[in-house]
């Protein structure tokens, strides 16, 4: 049986270089980074080197990079601390954000009485910047805008610079969940007027359980996790040294090979769109995932012209054929609840058709895409 992995938006295959670096760290550099002996010092030095490396690629200052367990922790930390420490009383987001943002915002509304506002979306799922401006102008409360750069389900790329300009104009803080973006797109935090970003290594061929937050200098956040003085006093807990150096290796390779790998994966997406459109008439693309410029090159979200009975068996059938993909974000698979993202942009009739997210990486081939489309075509014809 063929095995085809097309779920890289959920998590990616580790690069061999990352595995080698982590094995070296696990076997040779096992000292606690907070210890003063040579074992600890060597681990601490490598952690600080990683921090400087990330900062260099993002055009940030090393003190602005805080290691976390991943995107969810970073999103929670930023939103919670902004409300607790920065007198934010109005949160502005959208209804198609990742649940790490949405559920945190809802919790803050209950716990702190934060005024939670949602920016309107167009038919494709893009935030209405005119409506965002009106929300920012509504009153004089301290505001935080949280809008993701690249949507994890439909791949829309928001106009991050325009949003940053609006936030600056209205003295609002700007947080962007950039988990699907960092490692896949170039960033310059000096040019983009953003106060907070979040990243997860496992989205760009690094290990799970490690990520980072970019927190602009002098913004005034205090620690969410207290205890030891790790992460310059901002996040307590012994650093997972092996994961941090794995993140560094994956991060450097992602950016050093960005142009080459972006071209390769873009061609895979173009080929997939062209072939599935030809082989399965009536297929549609959700959001801007079928776009080559306005949507990320890393994924497509297809709506297939199959009836409801067939839809129930589709993912099971694909799994039997060795094909890994997703019907929504991996964080909600296994639940009977449909995609909260698609429900915002599709009609009830469109929601009855099966939608699948196929996400690509440097490890995929056109032959794999041929196999997947063949399986889908065969399934639809029976």
Residue length, the chain? 382
> What dihedral angle (degrees, nearest 10) is formed by the CA atoms of 300, 306, 308, 310?
-100
Alpha-carbon distances, residue 345 vs 181, 228, 261, 305 (angstroms): 22, 45, 31, 17
For 29, the token pair is: 């550099």
The DSSP output letter for 221 is: -
DSSP states of 116-151: EEE--B-TTS-B-HHHHHHHHTS-SS-EEEE--SB-
Q: Give the torsion through C-alpha atoms of 133, 137, 143, 149, to 10 deg.
A: 0
Q: What is the rounded distance in angstroms from the CA atom of residue 198 to the CA atom of residue 150?
A: 12
Sheet containing 65-68: order of strands: 65-68, 211-215, 196-200, 173-177, 143-146, 90-93, 115-118
Give the H/E segment covering residue 18: helix 16-28
Q: Which residue numbers are catalytic?
A: 331
For residue 311, the tally of other CB atoms under 10 A from its CB is 16
Q: Residue 188 has which token pair?
A: 């310059």
| Pair 168, 148: CB distance under 8 Å | no
Q: Are 173 and 144 in contact (CB under 8 A)?
A: yes
Q: Are strands 4-5 and 323-324 parallel, antiparallel or unpaired?
A: parallel
Helix (H, G, I), strand (E, B) or coil at 66: strand
Each residue of 266-290: b (16+ CB within 10 Å) or e? eebbeebbebbbeebeebebbbbbb
Are 99 and 72 within 8 A, CB to CB? no
CA pair distance 185, 193, nearest whole angstrom: 16
Cα first-last separation, the chain = 20
């Amino acid at each position: 049986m063929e095995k085809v992995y097309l779920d890289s938006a959920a998590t990616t295959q580790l690069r061999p270089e990352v595995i080698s670096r982590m094995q070296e760290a696990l076997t040779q550099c096992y000292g606690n980074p907070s210890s003063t002996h040579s074992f600890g010092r060597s681990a601490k030095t490598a952690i600080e080197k990683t921090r400087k490396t990330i900062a260099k690629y993002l055009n940030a200052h090393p003190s602005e990079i805080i290691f976390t367990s991943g995107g969810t922790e970073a999103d929670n930390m930023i939103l919670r601390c902004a409300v607790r420490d920065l007198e934010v009383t109005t949160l502005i987001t959208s209804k198609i954000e990742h649940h790490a943002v949405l559920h945190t915002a809802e919790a803050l509304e209950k716990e702190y009485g934060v005024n939670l506002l949602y920016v309107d979306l167009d038919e494709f799922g893009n935030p209405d910047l005119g409506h965002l401006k009106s929300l920012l102008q509504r009153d004089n409360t301290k505001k935080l805008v949280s809008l993701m750069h690249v949507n994890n389900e439909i791949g829309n790329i928001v106009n991050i610079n325009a949003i940053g300009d609006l936030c600056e104009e209205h003295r609002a803080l700007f947080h962007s969940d950039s988990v699907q973006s960092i490692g896949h797109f170039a960033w310059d935090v000096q040019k983009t007027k953003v106060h907070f970003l979040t990243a997860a290594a496992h989205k760009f061929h690094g290990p799970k359980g490690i990520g980072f937050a970019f927190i602009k200098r002098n913004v005034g956040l205090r620690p969410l996790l207290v205890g030891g003085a790790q992460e310059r006093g901002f996040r307590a807990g012994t650093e997972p040294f092996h994961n941090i150096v794995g993140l560094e290796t994956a991060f450097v390779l992602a950016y050093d090979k960005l142009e080459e790998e972006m071209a390769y994966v873009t061609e895979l997406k173009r080929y997939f769109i062209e072939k599935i459109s030809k082989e399965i008439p009536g297929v549609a693309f959700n959001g801007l995932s079928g776009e080559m410029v306005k949507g990320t090159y890393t994924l497509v979200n297809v709506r297939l012209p199959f009836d409801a009975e067939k839809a129930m068996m589709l993912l099971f059938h694909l799994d039997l054929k060795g094909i890994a993909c997703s019907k929504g974000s991996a964080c909600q698979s296994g639940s009977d609840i449909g995609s909260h993202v698609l429900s915002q942009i599709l009609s009830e009739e469109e929601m009855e058709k099966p939608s699948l997210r196929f996400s690509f990486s440097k490890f995929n081939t056109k032959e794999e895409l041929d196999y997947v489309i063949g399986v889908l075509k065969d399934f639809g014809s029976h």
